[in-house]
Amino acid sequence: MSSHPMTSRPLYFIILSFLFTFFPSCGGSSIALAQAEPIDIATTQMIPDSEQVVVEPVTSLIAADHKYDDGGMIDLSWVPSIDDQLVASRVIGYKVYRIEDEGEPEMISELAPGSNTYNDQSVERGKLYSYFVSTLSINAETPSVRTAPIEPQREWLNYELLNVLIMALVLGGAVIYFIETARRGKKLFVRKIAGLEAVDEAIGRATEMGRPILFIPGILDMDDVQTLAALTILGRVARIIADYDTKIFMPVSRSLVMTAGRETIKASYQAAGRPDAYSDDMVTYITDEQFGYVAAVDGIMVREKPATCFLLGAFFAESLILAETGNSVGAIQIAGTARPAQLPFFIAACDFTLIGEELFAASAYLSGEPKQMGSLKGQDVGKAIAMAAILIGILTVTIGDAWNVEWIQNITTGLVDVFSTR
Amino acid sequence: MFVIQYFIPHYPFNRMSHWFSDWFAIILACAIVLGALNLMKISIQKVIKKKPGWGYAVVIIASFLLITIIGLSEGEGFREPGTWFDWLYVYVYTPCSSTMFAILGFFVASASYRAFRARNFEATLLLLAAFFVMIGRVPVGDIISGFMPEGARLSNLASWIMTFPQTAGQRAIMIGIALGIVSTSLRVILGIERAHLAGE
Amino acid sequence: MEHFALWLGGFLTLGIFSFLYKDNPWYKLTEAIYVGISAGYFVVVYFWDNFYSKFWVGVFPHKRLNEAGELVAGVEPDYWLIIGGVLGLLMLMRLLPKVGWISRWPLAFIVGATAGLWLINYFASFVMVQIQNTVTPLFGADYNASLFVIVGNIVVAVGTFTGLIYFFFSKEHKGAFGSAARVGIFFLMITFGASFGYTVMSRMSLLIGRIDFLFGDWLGMIR
Amino acid sequence: MSTKAKEILALALIFAFSLIFYIGKVLGWGAVRFSTTVSLIVILLVALSLLWILILTIRGHLVERRIVFLYVGIAVALPLFMTLSQRIAISPEVEAVYNTLEGLPEGSKVLVSFDYDPPSAPELQPMAEAFLYYCFEHDLKVIMMGLWPQGPMQANMAIEKVLSDEKIKSKNLKYGEDYVNLGFQAGYEFVIQRMGSDFRSMFPTDYRGTPYEQIPLVKNVKNFSNIDYCFNLSSGFPGTREWVQIAVDRYGVTLGAGNTAVQAPQMYPFMRAGQLVGLLGGMVGAAEFEFLTKWIGKGTKFMISQSFAHVIVIAFIIIGNVAFFRSERKTGLKR
């Protein structure tokens, strides 16, 4: 199971912060400095027969609202106790206390020696919080002074990520602009993509030989863009297949992909004017399990001997097993994935391979619609920006570092800032 | 439908992605019923019509029912060691999946045998890179090149290839992929690409 | 039981390996067992993890009672989950031929949300970060980098640049542009060759592990 | 004889073979070992047959896939039975682990974290065994734990293996006094974080359910400051990176690690920065470490299998190219 792909869930977390980030408010920032208002906390855990080790408290404790969030965080920072040393330290840690709306102090976290920040994520808007940090020795605890009460704020726009927003808008704008241009009838050139030139030929070959076509849409679910791309290609391929009257078979490893695949093929057959030739049996679910699915598909390949295999979508370790088996039964194989780790195997074992971005370009390319071609042109703008940034960046950073020219170094810093995500 | 698609990603809520993953999980739980029923339907059809290989279809049905019934009846703690479900997992599921994975060892060899031929310049590069990295990563490599100065030994060459040209290629691919995804997503959101939605 | 388990493991392992020779009844039997078990496994896991733990417990949280029978800590039910439940139910409508079309709704929801979620995420974490990482000085400030590293840095820069040229769709690969794209392909090929060679090792160790099971754990021929 | 009959015969032979050896195992026969001479002869035979295939190829008979499979099988399986001493060059990373261990006085407390699961066991298990063997042999006290659920089970398997060694058996080591397995704790890197202040809060009991304060070995172990050396076996997240970032950077632990071959290269920066004292990378690392600790485990054998497999793959690449050039000369260029 360790080889099984991780679902994209952790990514949602990033997204979460992202969506958030963009949603605005302009709360004033409030910083509460510690005031001289000592708190009495009884020293804890007296150990008999040993002298109490009293350590110095932390200083300059600052509680500040966390920037660009929903108002659920407060950042604390302080200067560690002077007894907190790397070697032979008398400090064994810190405790962070919080006082909510002038209530009782409550210990919210224990930190390691050397810590000088804490991020309290369990605060609510509309309440006042003040904090103090106490320094722990082996048998005693020294509290710091207490901060003034502070209320967490909500901001509506994360200005730190403004550059990402702008870049995304530039790219999105480019794509939309070229789609519009194409829609108005301007002809756009798109270079040949070898694997896609072969699609017609591959389907024709299956027809001649009277053998089926196998379509494998990867092993991830509908929440992966590669699967979407594979299904859009399936739409075009199925259209041609319907015209040729060849058999298509699509074993899948996800129930949702099964449903979506059926819809796609059905639509293509309808568009080709042959809805009667469609049957639900063209798409079969096998199992969600990576290698169980592969075992079954291998069996199908050997028994049905397809003339053509499409392996398009998200693949993991199974890529080579499928491609080698397909190769051994003499099928023409057109593969494509955006998983860099699996591309070498497809290159080695398949006749044509759509490398990374080509997979996403494929459906646009196959459709031949100007609108879709326009989006490809938009992608190219993105690449041009990336290339320019790399070129300028490397030149300036090299020159700037080698000859220590400050203004050139500033260009680099600016450039890197434009592309930094945090 | 278009409106749903358009608005969801921009819906200004921090809970949004949480919800999405929760909802998605629930939809999946329902959808797998469809998948499982489909698998059963096809297997049962095979058995009834006595198509070739119907005996294996019986095995599929039997093993499917076995683990499902055990798993559902054992309650929430179905995964704890000592349950029957766990037994099936450890002694049936695991050997199968790790063997299937291990088969790759064979396929890696046969694929290299067939594919790594110096057909043209590109293929030669592919071959050479694979060759040096492969041999540079076992002790044999350093025994062969032991006479060379430290920096030019095969293991160092292998790691140089991995660190530099490999990184360059990966980076180009990654940037391309990301742009491709952005553009595909945009096409879906703008409703230009609707093949998966029965072309409404 | 232990004997049986070991023999079962051996039987299944050899059954799958027999596929390398050719498709045969032994493999077919193993395949059928494997497919049945793994499909059932996922039904069970989805039921308990997704449907039960997430949906059912989420909407109807366990009431925790202490020994005296008083309610201790009630988790707030999360009614938003019901939307997911409804979407799931719509999905199941597919079973009824007449209203099967309605299952397109949850599908559209997933496709739309996926597209939206990945859009910015991918952009930020791949395009931006990769560009940022590529911007490094070719040689260090004090010229102390070794020749290997300097050459390497130049190679990374050139490789990334030409690799991107290869992916250009809207310009024909001709002339200087074409040559650059060709250099790009060369880099891609080296990349693929290297990652292939790199992977051989880990694949082989998996195989070794399996063979060790056969001769060691099962037949006890290796200590 | 027809193909079918041959296949049935082959099946029967496999079955008989398995049955005989299984009965042998139950009856307690020893392991099968080839002596060095036999091993060399076997290698020679394999090499000769490869040469024969090369000659066949030059003559124009292309071998099929199944022959390749057969050779890979042979290359992986046979070395497991062989007695071969491979000249092993000890890399500085591995030596660093060994030297640190050597510097520990008797009775030092060593914490070993098992952060992997069965699929990575071929690479990491031999390291674990060699490591435990060294610790037990030199009277170091071992505290085991896992950040991966299956980790502690791997630990138990390694312990069992090492304790069955004659030399270690005679030491009469006691659970709870000489070694202890604290089990798995969920929480990824936060487990390490909490252990920084208090082990017991993270592991109230060991994996057998014995309360922490009743285990003599760890009774007085409060946090990392009572641990002399930390060793981490990792195949992913959470693993070595997290140990470095928390245990080393924040609590100043001395840390060594064993990693899978895929993961190891990412750890070199930590090595260079001195945050990681020693690293065993993949099977090569395991083999080198076994050589140093003189524990005759599977790492060395697996390593020979690995080398053989690589050589076979490379041999077939060469054969494939020979075939290609030959066909090109004959038929002109074709794709």
All structural domains of chain A, each given as residue ranges with its CATH number in brackets, are 29-154 (2.60.40.10), 199-350 (3.40.50)
Within-domain flag for B67: no
Within-domain flag for B105: no
Above pLDDT 70, what percent of chain A? 82
Cα A269 from Cα D103, distance rounded (Å): 74
**pLDDT digits over D240-296, tens only?**
988 988 888 878 899 999 998 777 777 776 777 788 999 998 888 898 899 899 887
Cα A97 from Cα A95, distance rounded (Å): 6
What local confidence, expressed as pLDDT, does residue B11 receive? 40
Nearest CA in chain C to A165: C120
Nearest CA in chain A to B123: A348
Q: Which chains touch B (3 or more CB pairs under 8 A)?
A: A, C, D
What local confidence, expressed as pLDDT, does residue C140 receive? 54
Contacts of A1 in chain D (CB under 8 A): 117, 119
Inter-residue contact C30 to B63 (CB < 8 Å): no
In this model, does residue D172 exceed pLDDT 70?
A: yes
Q: How far D192 CA sits from the closest chain A CA (Å)? A: 11
C28 contacts A402? CB cut-off 8 A: no
Cα C57 from Cα C51, distance rounded (Å): 9
Q: Which residues contact D20 (CB under 8 A, 6 or more apart)?
A: none
Q: How far A126 CA sits from the closest chain C CA (Å)? A: 21
In this model, does residue D113 exceed pLDDT 90?
A: yes
Within-domain flag for B83: no
Cα C196 from Cα D224, distance rounded (Å): 41
Select the residue from B92, B179, B186, B200 to test the A interface by mutation, using most A Cβ atoms within 10 A. Answer: B179
The two structure tokens encoding residue C38: 């793994």
Structural domain count of chain B = 3
What local confidence, expressed as pLDDT, does residue A87 receive? 58
D67 contacts chain B (CB < 8 A): no
In this model, does residue D109 exceed pLDDT 80?
A: yes
**pLDDT digits over B119-145, tens only?**
888 889 999 998 888 887 766 666 676
Residue with structure tokens 């683990």?
Answer: B67
In D271-310, the residues whose Cβ lies within 8 Å of chain C are: 282-283, 298, 301-302, 305-306, 309-310
Cα D36 from Cα D45, distance rounded (Å): 14
Contacts of A110 in chain D (CB under 8 A): 197
What local confidence, expressed as pLDDT, does residue C180 receive? 92
Structural domain boundaries, residue C166 = 137-223
CB nearest C208 (choices: D24, D29, D305): D305
What local confidence, expressed as pLDDT, does residue D330 receive? 59
Which of A257-266, A398-407, D68-77, D213-222 shows the lowest mean pLDDT across its residues?
A398-407
Structural domain count of chain C = 1
ipTM of predicted assembly, 2 dp: 0.85
Question: Crossing angle, helix C104-122 and helix A225-244, to 10 degrees?
Answer: 130
Residue with structure tokens 């063209």?
Answer: A282
**Strands laid side by side in the D255-259 sheet:** D179-184, D141-146, D109-115, D229-234, D255-259, D279-281
Inter-residue contact A160 to A68 (CB < 8 Å): yes
Within-domain flag for B100: no
For residue A340, whether the previous peptide bond is cis, meaning omega lies within 30 degrees of 0, is no
* pTM for the whole structure: 0.81
What local confidence, expressed as pLDDT, does residue A13 receive? 38
CB nearest B98 (choices: D119, D316, D317): D119
**pLDDT digits over A88-106, tens only?**
567 777 888 888 887 788 8
Alpha carbon distances (Å) from A213 to A98, A312, D64, D227: 66, 13, 25, 62
Q: How far B42 CA sits from the closest chain A CA (Å)? A: 8
Contacts of D11 in chain C (CB under 8 A): 26
Cα D7-D10-D16 angle, rounded to 5 deg: 145
Structural domain boundaries, residue B123 = 118-161
Cα A229 from Cα A217, distance rounded (Å): 9
CB nearest A228 (choices: B16, B184, B190): B184
C33 contacts B91? CB cut-off 8 A: no
B137 contacts D310? CB cut-off 8 A: yes
Inter-residue contact D183 to D207 (CB < 8 Å): yes
Inter-residue contact A79 to A59 (CB < 8 Å): yes
Q: How many residues does chain C have?
A: 223
Inter-residue contact A47 to A139 (CB < 8 Å): yes
> How far from each other are the two terminal CA atoms of chain B, in whole angstroms?
10
Is D263 buried (19+), middle (13-18) or exposed (0-12) by CB count in 10 A? buried
In this model, does residue B93 exceed pLDDT 50?
A: yes
What average pLDDT is seen over chain A? 79
Work out the pLDDT band at C141, boundaries 50, 70, 90. very low
The upper half-sphere exposure of residue A267, i.e. CA atoms within 13 Å in the direction of its Cβ, equals: 22
Least Cα distance to B21 among A69, C89, C49 occurs for C49
CB nearest C220 (choices: D24, D66, D72): D24
Q: Is the pLDDT higher at D333 or at D276?
A: D276
Is D25 buried (19+), middle (13-18) or exposed (0-12) by CB count in 10 A? middle
The two structure tokens encoding residue C82: 């019901």
Torsions phi, psi of D128, nearest 5? -60, -45
D122 contacts chain A (CB < 8 A): no
The two structure tokens encoding residue B40: 């059963």
What local confidence, expressed as pLDDT, does residue C221 receive? 83
Judgement on whether residues B190 and B156 belong to the same structural domain of the protein: no
When mean pLDDT is compared over A211-215, B173-177, D113-117, the highest value belongs to A211-215
Q: Strand pairing of D141-146 and D179-184? A: parallel
What local confidence, expressed as pLDDT, does residue A245 receive? 86
In this model, does residue D8 exceed pLDDT 90?
A: yes
C92 contacts B56? CB cut-off 8 A: no
In this model, does residue A74 exceed pLDDT 60?
A: yes
A237 contacts chain B (CB < 8 A): no
Alpha carbon distances (Å) from D191 to A37, C156, D25: 35, 39, 42
Q: How far D104 CA sits from the closest chain C CA (Å)? A: 30
A114 contacts D119? CB cut-off 8 A: no
Q: How far C69 CA sits from the closest chain A CA (Å)? A: 29
Q: Is the pLDDT higher at C30 or at A192?
A: C30
B139 contacts D324? CB cut-off 8 A: no
Helix (H, G, I), strand (E, B) or coil at D182: strand
Architecture of the D92-296 domain? 3-Layer(aba) Sandwich (3.40)
Helix (H, G, I), strand (E, B) or coil at D234: strand
Contacts of A171 in chain C (CB under 8 A): 123
Torsions phi, psi of D179, nearest 5? -155, 155
Contacts of C181 in chain B (CB under 8 A): none
Contacts of B92 in chain A (CB under 8 A): none
Within-domain flag for B176: yes
Nearest CA in chain A to B112: A348
Torsions phi, psi of C189, nearest 5? -65, -45
Contacts of A113 in chain D (CB under 8 A): 250-251
Q: Is the pLDDT higher at B198 or at B58?
A: B58
> What does the domain layout of chain D look like in residue ranges?
31-84+301-334, 92-296
In this model, does residue A48 exceed pLDDT 50?
A: no
Alpha carbon distances (Å) from A360 to B193, C49, C115: 12, 33, 13
A371 contacts chain B (CB < 8 A): yes
What local confidence, expressed as pLDDT, does residue D51 receive? 93
> How far from each other are the two terminal CA atoms of chain C, in whole angstroms?
23
Least Cα distance to D32 among C223, B194, A69, C59 occurs for C223
Q: What are the residues facing D16 on neighbouring strands?
A: none
Q: Which residues contact A400 (CB under 8 A, 6 or more apart)?
A: A406, A408, A409, A411, A412
Judgement on whether residues B153 and B189 belong to the same structural domain of the protein: no
Within-domain flag for C34: no
Least Cα distance to B174 among C119, D19, C123, A18 occurs for C123
CB nearest B71 (choices: C40, C108, C112): C40
Cα A400 from Cα A23, distance rounded (Å): 37
C166 contacts B24? CB cut-off 8 A: no
The two structure tokens encoding residue D258: 């064993």
Q: How far D135 CA sits from the closest chain B CA (Å)? A: 27
A93 contacts D197? CB cut-off 8 A: yes
D298 contacts C212? CB cut-off 8 A: yes
Q: How many residues does chain B have?
A: 200
Q: Which residues contact D224 (CB under 8 A, 6 or more apart)?
A: D111, D195, D196, D230, D247, D251, D252, D253
A221 contacts B111? CB cut-off 8 A: no
